[in-house]
Structure 1
């Protein structure tokens, strides 16, 4: 039985990834930042095959702890970077754990002989730090895929900047190390939607869906989004997990970064669908998913199906 280490495996996306690997017969080691906070991971214990699940405390900026966490893993999934929109200190809360954590992680896995595959859960921000706004000179209706030039702006949200720089760190590591004993692949989801597998109330993704459903704008970012009826490219959280699992078990994907996206709707129509109503406009395909569908052999769920099944009241 092979073992997968999932950094951030109890979060919104990570929980679905953990479930995928358990369902497919892996031993799974999940990290948590605070082992005393059982509310962060107790929902994993009800999964099928949870007898093959292990919980371990980990701070991604601690190289010694990282080394211990991955030491006996065949596959490692890194989805442990923070997704924070409201912050006090971006250097401490976003840049350090995201960028330094990635640097530490790469150094550690490079010296861990058992590892066969590493998968990073990046973000659409790795391609466009302005998301959900267009990249550079593109318009809202211009399409985007993996062949487009990535767009970075130091005026973008610090979360997006951190994810972009972390992805550059991975790409530079791959270029400098041409004889790695393992493969590195990346998946970059757009706005991730769907139901949480936990009862935690501190999920940024879950909170964003709740705010859009109820037309609540607690910050300037959402006020601009609502006022301009900004369109969002979205992807089902379970599809992100399936894509991650397939990326992890498929060989010869070294260095690839897959955009994970389904359809795009304006925020007003996202609001309608979250409230079990029909959207006023048809969906568009802005961020393309053809490379993921081609290499990973699966079809993405529709946004309408996902949002109509949203449970949070």
Structure 2
């Protein structure tokens, strides 16, 4: 059995990725920032094939511990960067763990001979830090694909800026290391919604669905979503997990960064669907998924069904 190390493998997206790899015959090692807090990862033990699951404590800013985590892995998935909308100190809460963690990770995996593939869970922010608003120079109806020049603004949310810079760090590493012994692939999901596999209450993605369903705005970012009735591109969390598996197991994808996206609806329509009501408008296709569909073989679930999953 091949072994995959999943950094962030017990979170909202990570749990689905962990389950997907277990179901596809892998040994899976999942990181935990505090292994004594079993509430963070005990739900993983209920998965089928959990006898092939291992939990290891990890701090991505500690290179020696990081090296120990990845040293016997064939594949490593890096999805352990913080996703926070309420931020008091962007530097310590987002920029350092996201960017420095990425730098440390790249330095470490470059020295591990067993590694065949590295997959980064990036973000739509790698292409547009203004998300869900359009990048400067585009209208709300203009499409966005991997062919567009990535847009970054220092006025964007710190999380988006950190993810953009981390993705640029990966791109620079690839350019300056042309003879790597392993492939690096990134997937960049839009807003990831759907059903959680745990009862954890610290998931920003699950929390955002709750806020949109109940029309609660606890911070300026969510208030902006309501005020602008922003067009929100959404993808099902299970489709993200499938995309990560494909990116990890299909050869010849080195240096590619796939947009992982389904349909786009206005926030008001998202709220209606989360409450079991039909949307007032038809779905739009703003963020393109042609590259993921053709090269990863992903068929994306429609947003109506994704939002129904959250509520059931």
Provide the TM-score with structure 1 as the length reference: 0.99
Aligned-pair distance for 1:179?
A: 0.5
Q: Give CA-to-partner distance per residue, 1:24-76, whole Å, 9 cap, x none.
A: 01000000100011010000000000000000000000000000000000000
Bigger drift between 224-233 and 9-18 goes to 224-233
2:69 maps to 1:76:
no
1:171 matched to which residue of 2?
Answer: 171
1:123 matched to which residue of 2?
Answer: 123
Contact 2:275 2:311 in 1 (8 A): no
2:102 matched to which residue of 1?
Answer: 102
- In 2, the alpha carbon distance for the partners of 1:123 and 1:212 equals 20
Q: Provide runs of 4+ in structure 1 moved above 4 Å.
A: none
Flag structure 2 segments of 5+ consecutive residues without an equivalent: none
- In 2, the alpha carbon distance for the partners of 1:256 and 1:13 equals 20
Aligned-pair distance for 1:218?
A: 1.1
1:21 matched to which residue of 2?
Answer: 21
Q: Give CA-to-partner distance per residue, 1:64-109, whole Å, 9 cap, x none.
A: 0000000000000000000001011111110011000000000000
Bigger drift between 218-227 and 89-98 goes to 218-227
- In 2, the alpha carbon distance for the partners of 1:127 and 1:159 equals 13
- In 1, the alpha carbon distance for the partners of 2:116 and 2:148 equals 29
1:160 matched to which residue of 2?
Answer: 160
Q: Aligned residue pairs: how many?
A: 312
2:212 matched to which residue of 1?
Answer: 212
Q: Give CA-to-partner distance per residue, 1:108-142, whole Å, 9 cap, x none.
A: 00000000000000000000000001011101110
2:56 matched to which residue of 1?
Answer: 56
2:272 matched to which residue of 1?
Answer: 272
Measured on the aligned residues, the alpha-carbon RMSD in Å equals 0.7
Aligned-pair distance for 1:308?
A: 1.6
User: Secondary structure of the equivalent of 2:140?
Assistant: coil
- In 2, the alpha carbon distance for the partners of 1:25 and 1:98 equals 30
1:256 matched to which residue of 2?
Answer: 256
- In 2, the alpha carbon distance for the partners of 1:19 and 1:94 equals 27
Q: Give CA-to-partner distance per residue, 1:189-209, whole Å, 9 cap, x none.
A: 000000111101110000000
- In 2, the alpha carbon distance for the partners of 1:94 and 1:224 equals 21
Provide the TM-score with structure 2 as the length reference: 0.99
User: Secondary structure of the equivalent of 1:254?
Assistant: coil
Contact 2:71 2:112 in 1 (8 A): yes
Contact 2:196 2:310 in 1 (8 A): no
